[in-house]
Structure 1
Amino acid sequence: MTDKAPRVAMVAGEASGDLLAGLLLDGMQARWPAATAHGIGGPQMARRGFAAWWPSDKLAVHGYSVEVFRRLRELLSIRKQLRNRLLADRPDIFIGVDAPDFNLGLEADLRAAGIRTVHFVCPSIWAWRADRVEKIRKSAGHVLCIFPFEPELLARHGIAATYVGHPLASVIPEVPDRSGARAHLGLADGDEVLAILPGSRSAEVQYIAPAFFQAAALLRQARPNLRMVVPAVPALQARIEQVAREQGVSGMLQIVTGQSHTVLAACDATLIASGTATLEAALFKRPMVIGYHMHPLSWWLMKRKQLQPWVGLPNILCGEFVVPELIQGAATPQALCDATLQWLDAKVQHPATITALEQRFSALHASLRRDTSQLAADAIEKILATAAV
């Protein structure tokens, strides 16, 4: 066992990475109360005493190449400054949390200089971009995996890995408190509630929110009493409110700051952008319609690298289309509306369908629920006890 409190450098990109990194810091600080951590992070990490040299939202980019290219000079400058700072004042270990396009290159440079490197969240090489395996092998001394099938896959390529469970499976209760969440949001138990989550990045709001809000207008026509709640990332709330005004739906939507978990706990179903939020919705056992839209060139480039027929995490993890996906050209307002209405109708007309989905998501929840903070700290302790490679 290593008793010395480690100096840890970390980089987490955007809100989901910040949440994962915050939970990882919990485990390390329980093991080493005097541990220090610095690098790039967000508010969840800051609450644990993390010293953010840059905020995590600097890394929040959208798409495969087009949107990234517009900010490439800024991102490369940040990475170069961070690399030089870490090489000049070497941490005991560097942990890159998600953000593989930014972190893997940085990890490769640090590892080549003899600094231990860990990558937390295996890049989705099982879904797309299998060519990234070589980069992972070069960059990460160890990978902390959030899905149970990943360590075996990485081992086939000579990459050391540990399954630590998905942190969200421990954060989200197995039986959500729908009534309590509704009371918090000012909703009645008898209300029919739809959660609308148009993404956590500015470009997602640009490309996805208009169609989602147009679908909301159609849904209100079909169901005049439907309550629709939009949890907005604080930095994007003004933009989301602007899009709602542009689409003429401001009066139909209850837009709240943050609180995505409360909104998902409260809803009957959700219209949701593809990403980590879809897994959160599954852990809340909520029926969903997954929608996504991006710049056409980004979609063309990504589509060429796709290895599976599914895009949404619930479908990928279940190995079938348990919830509908409407991607790119298929994500029309009418199609999004119709698919959402099918779930809302099923609650009354086909309740067995809803029950079956909830059971499927409950089994998924059980498979992902582990003491992630402790397991990750255990793995990091073993890595710190070995020489950097």
Structure 2
Amino acid sequence: MSATPPHFFLVAGEISGDLIGGRLMASLKKRLGPDVRFSGVGGPAMTAEGLESLFPMQELSLMGLAEVLPHIPALLKRLSQTEAAVRAERPTALITIDAPSFTLRLAKSLGDAGIPRIHYVAPQVWAWRAGRAPKIARKIDRLLALFPFEPPWFTKHGLPTDYVGHPVVEGGALSGDGDRFRERYGIPASKPLLTVLPGSRQGEVTRLLPVFAATVELLAEQVPGLQLVVPTVPQVADRVAEAIRSWPGDPLLVTDSVVKFDAFAASRAALAASGTVALELALAKLPAVIAYKVNPFTAWMLRRLLTIRYAALPNLILDEPLMPELLQEDCNPAAIAKALAPLMLDTPVRGGMLEGYQRLADAMELDLAPPSERAAEVICRHVGLG
């Protein structure tokens, strides 16, 4: 009689977590064979790997107090439903992915079930509310971290924590083809390209587009023949397309992720809103300036809550100001253009940033297996599957 196949119950609550979950499932199948079973809550990426979601993941994808409050009764019902399903199915392990407001509550409720509880994506206690770390340590049995500096924040509280790498490593930033991009759009090799990334949310593109427009006006005066490439996402593409019609540099709008990474490889520098894209740019070895602003009240609150010195992920990982960060009052066209200009030429500033990118690659252990495979290895070891 053959042994019962391993069975993992996964719960993701957001699109980013669904992508992580889908890659993890593929890696678990690669490691354990096609008979491994999955159940839980996920989105399209996890469904494509064989998960039949207990309910639509979108019900958990809520942000902001005003959005969450009306849905609390429904969320509590889903929490109870998910807990009951885990207890009934008795999986090899429960794997929760990000969305800590829901997933860590679920893990805590199953503390008496005798089921290994593994959480993927460490809560950012290093950024704010460090006092959460010992509480988190009591809710789960193992933690998988995205950043190399995160494990000590939790291991000192007795929680086994493994750095497995950031999912952006598997997103394509390392494989852009600059020649392919230039050939696709008929751009000669001598023409200087600047990639401009104004964000992915309506609020941030509304705030940043006017600043970025004035910035590229200034830069175009300093860089003859400047060509702009503006990668964006479908939900804000119309807004961005309308705004860049009046920009100099004959801007190209890009919405495909493969083409975006090709644009990175073809460009001399980038101007980007703060976010995960900063790490993508660093992995693509594209010198960049990070610029961002929020409304004054939000900025006032963040300055009192946050305990970090940097906003850009590469700077956080290296604990140094590798990428210029122009935030709030400093997020103005003159300052941004001044920071960008030396990155468009072969200057010591540009060379220093590229050297820093190599140190970042070393710190992130990019020479090791992809993050999803490292995560699968830790999970299998934790539950005794080799």
Deviations 1:251-305 (A, max 9, x none): 8421111323233222211111212111111111111111122233322222212
One of 247, 250, 269 as aligned partner of 1:249: 247
* Structure 2 residue aligned with 1:119: 119
Secondary structure of 1:169's counterpart equals helix
Q: 1:87 to 1:290 in 2, by over 3 A?
A: same
Aligned partners of 2:244 and 2:210: how far apart in 1?
8
Cα separation, partners in 2 of 1:99 and 1:188, compared to 1, 3 Å:
farther
- 2:234 and 2:139 mapped to 1: Cα distance? 33
2:231 partner SS: strand
2:380 maps to: 381
1:361-386 CA-to-partner distances (Å, cap 9, x unmatched) read: 12321332232223211222244459
The CA deviation string for residues 100-130 of structure 1, in whole angstroms up to 9 with x for no partner, is: 4454344434546665432212223223331
Query: Residue 233 of structure 1: CA displacement?
Result: 1.6
Match of residue 81 from structure 2: 85
Which moved further from structure 2: 85-94 or 106-115?
Answer: 106-115
Is 1:48 aligned to 2:49, yes or no?
Answer: yes
Q: Which residue of 1 aligns with 2:61?
A: 59
Q: Is the 8 A contact 1:14 1:60 kept in 2?
A: no
* Conserved? CA contact 2:195–2:271, under 8 Å: yes
1:328-367 map, 5 Å: 328-344=328-344, 347-348=345-346, 350=347, 352-367=348-363
Count of aligned residue pairs for this structure pair: 371
Q: Is the 8 A contact 2:227 2:249 kept in 1?
A: no
Q: Identify which range, 282-291 or 191-200, moves more after superposition.
A: 191-200
Shift of 1:209: 3.4
Cα distance change on mapping 1:385 and 1:193 into 2, 3 Å: same
- Asked if structure 2 preserves the Cα contact closer than 8 Å seen for 1:227 and 1:253, the reply is yes
Aligned to 2:198: 198
Give the CA deviation at 1:60: 7.0
Change (3 A) 1:219 1:250: closer
More divergent stretch after superposition (45-54 vs 307-316): 45-54
Hey, what's the Cα distance between the residues in 2 that align with 1:28 and 1:5? Answer: 10
Secondary structure (helix, strand or coil) at the match of 1:191 reads coil
Q: Distance in 2 between matches of 1:40 and 1:206?
A: 31
1:222–1:113 CA distance, 2 compared to 1 (3 A): farther
Query: Cα deviations across residues 59-117 of structure 1 (Å, max 9, x unaligned)?
Result: 374xxxxxx12322366466434313312322624433334445434443454666543
* Larger gyration radius, structure 1 or structure 2: 2
Structure 1's 56 and 385: CA in aligned 2 closer, same or farther, altered over 3 A?
A: farther
Q: Could you say which residue in structure 2 is the equivalent of 1:324?
A: 324
Find the counterpart in structure 2 of residue 39 from structure 1: 41
> SS at 1:71's partner residue?
helix
Aligned AA for 1:307?
A: T
Deviation at 1:11, TM superposition (A): 0.8
Judging changes above 3 Å, is the alpha-carbon distance between structure 1 residues 132 and 264 closer, same or farther for their aligned structure 2 residues?
farther
1:1-389 aligned at under 5 Å gives the runs: 4-15=5-16, 17-30=17-30, 31-34=32-35, 35-41=37-43, 43-51=44-52, 53-54=55-56, 59=61, 61=63, 68-73=64-69, 76=72, 79-90=75-86, 92=91, 93-111=93-111, 116-169=116-169, 172=172, 177-184=177-184, 186-223=186-223, 225-244=225-244, 248-249=246-247, 252-259=250-257, 260-344=260-344, 347-348=345-346, 350=347, 352-368=348-364, 369=366, 370-371=368-369, 372-385=371-384
Question: Cα 1:268–1:79, aligned 2, differ >3 Å: closer, same or farther?
Answer: farther
RMSD: 3.1
Distance 2:262 2:73 in 1: 37
3-state SS, counterpart of residue 159 of structure 2: coil
- Identical aligned pairs, as a percentage? 29
**2-structure distance, mates of 1:244, 1:291:** 18
Specify whether residues 40 and 81 from structure 1 end up closer, same or farther in structure 2 by C-alpha distance, changes over 3 A only.
farther
Partner SS for 1:130: coil
Q: 1:12 to 1:239 in 2, by over 3 A?
A: farther
Which structure exhibits the higher relative contact order, with contacts defined as CA atoms closer than 8 Å and separated by 6 or more residues?
A: 1
Q: CA deviation at 1:55?
A: 5.1
- 1:324 Cα deviation after fit: 0.6
| Rounded Cα–Cα distance in structure 1 between residues aligned with 2:70 and 2:217 | 38
